[in-house]
Amino acid sequence: METHNKKMQSPCSFRAIGVMSGTSLDGLDLSLAHYNYADGGWSFDLLEASTIQYEREIHDSLSNSMNLNGRELMEFDASYGKWIGEKINDFVSNSDCKIDVIGNHGHTVFHNPQKGISTQIGNGAHIAAVTGIPCVSNFRTGDIARNGQGAPLVPIGDELLFSQYDFCLNIGGIANISFKDKSKRVAYDICPANMALNHLSQIQKFPFDTNGVLGKNGKINSSLLDELNGIEFYGQQGPKSLGREWFESTFLTVLNRYNISNFDKLRTCYEHIAFQVANVLNFRSDATVLATGGGSKNEFLIDCIKQKTSNRIIIPDAEIIDFKEAIVFGFLAVLYLLNIPNCLSSVTGAKTDSVGGCLYK
């Protein structure tokens, strides 16, 4: 990682907006942060943050986006980008500071690096046009073109902004991990998390399972648990990543084979997630684990994980839980402006590190 810092010769600072829409469709996360480089290291101050709840029409369109034909998807990409731009304008309407750049993750529709594709919608050109602020988006494609997974992208932020923790665990739609192994950053997707829990909760007419209230009503089905833990993905070495296609074609296929109560499926999924997460954490002991993402607010899920590891799980302030990924995507855009690699081959498996993204002004 020293190679990134060697390129920096003098102190600098940027104000950037980060934009994140996760697979669990919780809403659009926006952050405005001040990023500073001095004395050989990066730091940040979060100035503002907000989650924009999706209107029903936007939510349903995002949920159905993978079923659109090519023309429909491009039309939605443009209209969703304009919508994001409008929400950013509202977000900064009371701010009088100069904003240097927007880092837009976009909403993932397809992610299949084996076929050389990863599609995030929320068109950066339209965001830049609506806001008048330069926008960096489409972060994954360059890495995939170099035979990488195009994911995860957050580890460069873990390395440079959150280096005080041994592990950075994000429990979102998909649980993923980032940590330093010897001299290089290692990161990969672990397993479905909120994507599975929300799916089963919605069958019970709840958008998600608050603190595991629904899951606690079920019993662990040992046969289902064994089959989930035996899925081929878990035996693969990283770099590796998951997407909704895999969840629907593989994970749900296993769940749907079992004619048991939905509560039992939920409880078994909690156990499965906890087992897979702890399995990653337990190659170290007495380590610190920064847990963020919506799943870190689920007390029952965190308790299930704690029962399986002796490492210290740290739940930060709510703003870091909710907006860490948005903060990092703002930072990725800053690194892009500085021509510093923001996509690490050590975590994606690409041929080389790369400066990922496309800049629109």
For 65-90, the pLDDT digits (tens) are 999 999 999 999 999 999 999 999 99
Tokens of 276: 């897979």
pTM: 0.86
Residue 202 has pLDDT above 70, yes or no: yes
Give CA–CA dist 356/104, Å, rounded. 12
Mean pLDDT of all residues in 283-287: 92
Residue 106 has pLDDT above 70, yes or no: yes
In this structure, how many other beta carbons lie within 10 angstroms of the beta carbon of residue 360?
A: 20
> What integer pLDDT is reported at residue 218 of this predicted model?
97
45 burial type by CB count under 10 A (0-12 exposed, 13-18 middle, 19+ buried): exposed
> What integer pLDDT is reported at residue 1 of this predicted model?
40
Question: To which H or E segment does residue 262 belong?
Answer: helix 262-281
Query: For residues 9 and 325, which has the higher predicted lDDT (pLDDT)?
Result: 325
The Cα-based distances of 347 to 20, 112, 180 in angstroms read 20, 16, 10
Q: Look at the alpha carbons of 294, 300, 305, 306 in this order and tell me if their dihedral is positive or negative.
A: positive
Sorting pLDDT into bands at 50, 70 and 90, what band is 241? confident
Mean pLDDT of all residues in 15-40: 92
CB 212 within 8 A of CB 300: yes
Mean pLDDT of all residues in 290-297: 94
DSSP collapsed to 3 states, 302-360: HHHHHCCCCCEEECCCHHHHHHHHHHHHHHHHHHHHCCCCCECHHHHCCCCCECCCEEE
For 351-361, write each residue's pLDDT tens digit.
Answer: 999 999 999 99
> What integer pLDDT is reported at residue 6 of this predicted model?
47
Q: Give the distance from CA 48 to its chain's centroid.
A: 20
Tokens of 317: 């302030």
Mean pLDDT score of the chain = 94
Beta strand residue intervals within 225-318, DSSP E: 288-292, 312-314
Residues 6 or more apart whose Cβ sits within 8 Å of residue 235: none
Residue 96 has pLDDT above 90, yes or no: no
In angstroms and rounded to an integer, the radius of gyration of the C-alpha atoms of the chain is: 20
- Residue appearing with tokens 């899951």: 215
> What integer pLDDT is reported at residue 253 of this predicted model?
98
In this structure, how many other beta carbons lie within 10 angstroms of the beta carbon of residue 59?
A: 14
105 burial type by CB count under 10 A (0-12 exposed, 13-18 middle, 19+ buried): buried
Sorting pLDDT into bands at 50, 70 and 90, what band is 24? low
In the DSSP assignment, the letter for residue 54 is P
**In degrees rounded to 5, what are phi and psi of residue 162?**
-130, 40
> What integer pLDDT is reported at residue 192 of this predicted model?
97
Residue 347 has pLDDT above 90, yes or no: yes
> What integer pLDDT is reported at residue 217 of this predicted model?
95
Residues 6 or more apart whose Cβ sits within 8 Å of residue 40: 5, 8
Residue 151 has pLDDT above 70, yes or no: yes
Residues 6 or more apart whose Cβ sits within 8 Å of residue 330: 16, 17, 18, 31, 32, 33, 35, 101, 102, 103
Sorting pLDDT into bands at 50, 70 and 90, what band is 7? low
Residue 22 has pLDDT above 80, yes or no: no
For 154-198, write each residue's pLDDT tens digit.
Answer: 999 999 999 999 999 999 889 999 999 988 999 999 999 999 999
In the DSSP assignment, the letter for residue 186 is E
> What integer pLDDT is reported at residue 354 of this predicted model?
97
Domains contained in the chain, CATH given: 2-155+323-360 (3.30.420.40), 164-319 (3.30.420.40)
For 36-51, write each residue's pLDDT tens digit.
Answer: 999 999 999 999 999 9
Tokens of 110: 């397809």
| Percent of the chain clearing pLDDT 90 (strictly above) | 87
Tokens of 337: 């402006």
